[in-house]
Structure 1
Amino acid sequence: MTYPGNPSLTSANVADGRAAAAPATPADAARPGPTLTGSGGSPANGWSPAGILANGWARLLLGLIIPAAVLAVWQISTAAGLFSVVQLPPPAMVVEAGLDLIQRGELGQHIAISTQRVLIGFAAGAGLGLLAGSLVGLSKFADLLLAPTIGALRAVPSLAWVPLLILWMKIGEDSKVTLILIGAFFPVFTTVSVALRHVDRNLVEAARAFGLKGVRLLTTVQLPAVVPAVFSGLRLALAQAWLFLVAAELIASSMGLGFLLTDSQNNGRTDRLLLAIVLLAVIGKITDGLLGLAEKWAVKRWA
């Protein structure tokens, strides 16, 4: 429609003008506008702590800050003469001790034997802990029957098992691996049994309605529902296995990092003693990191 006195003014123009002149509604005011980002893709200044922490290299460097600081304090304290060489040898002396053992072909054997003992004992202990934890977590009768005894055995110190294992299994590999097995069993048993008690009952009943029961129900529904708890127990068990290694290698060992630790103490070789401690820490962290990668895969797969 054309208005008299202004041929160029049409009804469409009037509608457009009214829309432009209309005040913004609260919904329009609440609607977010375009976000200005910097070069890093984050608001305002282009820097985001979450973005930095998501970077793998940044996380690695952040984790190395404290070890580097400890190493620096160690070097400074030994250079200043705060400790004698017997009390705390400098880092260079520890490195030289490691190179000497490598040239003799002994360090690789110590590491390989200890790692083998830990992995075998951890695998056996974790497997038994998973079975016993599943049984106790799913059966009230098994809980009443087994939980008190297992809880009491869990309080027994690792060194208390050494003379008994020597008496039963002599001083071979079986006694050493069995002690590590004992150390790995209890964390897995505890975490699995507790986690299975808190699985959603509706989920279990729905699975049973589809005909799942027994072992199939456990492996298909219940264990996948507690995958994070299971891996928490496994990581605790792996750390416990490395702790029990030193006690295991007290059983008349001639090789291994635990043997290197105690032998260095007896011979006054503090440099080798510190080398054994550093190697135990580094290898333990590496194995824990590998288990962490398996945890991420399992959580994506089942959880």
Structure 2
Amino acid sequence: MSHVEGLPLTRGVPQRADTRLRIRRQGRWLLGLLVPAGAALAWELAVRAGLANGRLMPPPSVLGATLLDLAQGGDLALHIRATLARMAAGFALGVLAGTALGVLTGTFAGVRAALDPTLQALRAIPSIAWVPLFILWFGIFEASKIMLIAVGVAFPVYLGTLGAIRTVDRRIVEVGRSFRLGRLALARRILFPAVLPHYVVALRSGLGLGWMFVVAAEFMGASEGLGYLLVDGQQLGKPAQILAAILVFALLGKLTDTLLVAAAAPFLRWQDVAQDVVPGEPPRRREPC
């Protein structure tokens, strides 16, 4: 037992709190699998017992066999690569455009007054409405698909970046100025940490919308991609192929979102949020950035 400023501190408390927090997080991860696994098992049993018709809604065993056939033939890997390549290019382009516009409109009132009304009006346009225009502008090949995905990603990133900059507490900026921080130091030590949590949420929103837009993009005459599998399954009457493609979309979307959160986590360690408090343990100290 050691003392700091007259208060007894147990050295093992932070380690125990970290362990309990890790166990809780792993438990939540397993709990998240309970609903889809339970629903899949229930549907499989219902079809096998003859209580439901599995023709239009195939059971998990049929979906697994379909995915295995696609994987063994090499088609699944081909379509996943094509979709991921389009998604990566569209997401990168959309993030760059959305971030740049968000920073400009959030920082300069004149730019915001000039651009924000137009951008908000464009944001309300349905994704399918852009399809014929982009085909005319960029053709039916990859450029039009990537641009459509970029449009879907750019607007939530723009809105999140603008909102994050506009909601920075004026008092913390004044504290930075009172310590005579220059513009670069103020941006790095005050503005960037204040904006980053909201910006990560904006990136996740843009990523989710990008996966929705990639389906519309691959409806535009694609011969490769998971969207093509959906169209092919609909035209040939293959519900198992349609559901298999939807399942792969869901898995890829969850995987990319998890990777994005993991990549952002080191930059957000300074946050002291209620979710990290373990009941029965004292709050842990956070190291400043």
- TM-score, structure 1 normalization: 0.78
Aligned residues of 1:78 and 1:88 also touching (Cα < 8 A): no
- Whichever residue aligns with residue 161 of structure 2, its letter is V
Aligned residues of 1:184 and 1:241 also touching (Cα < 8 A): yes
Q: Does 1:110 align with 2:110?
A: no
Shift of 1:56: 4.4
Question: CA–CA distance in 2 between the matches of 1:118 and 1:167?
Answer: 21
Question: CA–CA distance in 2 between the matches of 1:255 and 1:219?
Answer: 43
1:131-182 superposed Cα distances (whole Å, 9 cap, x missing partner): 1101111111111111100000101011111110101111111100100000
Deviates further, 175-184 or 100-109: 100-109
Question: CA–CA distance in 1 between the matches of 2:100 and 2:187?
Answer: 11
Aligned residues of 1:207 and 1:221 also touching (Cα < 8 A): no
* Seq. identity, %: 39
Q: Which runs of 4+ in 1 moved over 6 A?
A: none
Shift of 1:85: 3.5
- Whichever residue aligns with residue 143 of structure 1, its letter is R
1:98 corresponds to which residue? 67
Q: What is the SS of the residue equivalent to 2:183?
A: coil
Q: What is the SS of the residue equivalent to 1:174?
A: helix
2:153 corresponds to which residue? 184
Find the structure with the greater CA-based Rg: 1
The equivalences for 1:1-303 within 5 A come to: 51=20, 54-205=23-174, 206-207=176-177, 209-212=180-183, 218=187, 221-300=190-269
1:214-255 superposed Cα distances (whole Å, 9 cap, x missing partner): xx7545542332110000000011011101010000111001
Cα distance, 1:156–1:189 mapped onto 2, change above 3 Å: same
* RMSD over equivalenced CA pairs, Å: 2.9
Shift of 1:117: 0.9
Q: What is the SS of the residue equivalent to 2:221?
A: coil
Aligned residues of 2:152 and 2:206 also touching (Cα < 8 A): yes
Question: CA–CA distance in 2 between the matches of 1:188 and 1:219?
Answer: 20
Aligned residues of 1:196 and 1:223 also touching (Cα < 8 A): no
Aligned residues of 1:246 and 1:258 also touching (Cα < 8 A): yes
Shift of 1:101: 1.0
1:275-301 superposed Cα distances (whole Å, 9 cap, x missing partner): 001111111101000111112112127
Q: Aligned residues, how many?
A: 261
Question: CA–CA distance in 2 between the matches of 1:274 and 1:234?
Answer: 27
Question: CA–CA distance in 2 between the matches of 1:207 and 1:281?
Answer: 46
Question: CA–CA distance in 2 between the matches of 1:108 and 1:254?
Answer: 14
Question: CA–CA distance in 2 between the matches of 1:54 and 1:196?
Answer: 35
Question: CA–CA distance in 2 between the matches of 1:63 and 1:155?
Answer: 33
Question: CA–CA distance in 1 between the matches of 2:221 and 2:41?
Answer: 37
Aligned residues of 1:52 and 1:58 also touching (Cα < 8 A): no
Question: Structure 2: 5+ residue runs without aligned partners?
Answer: 1-15, 271-287
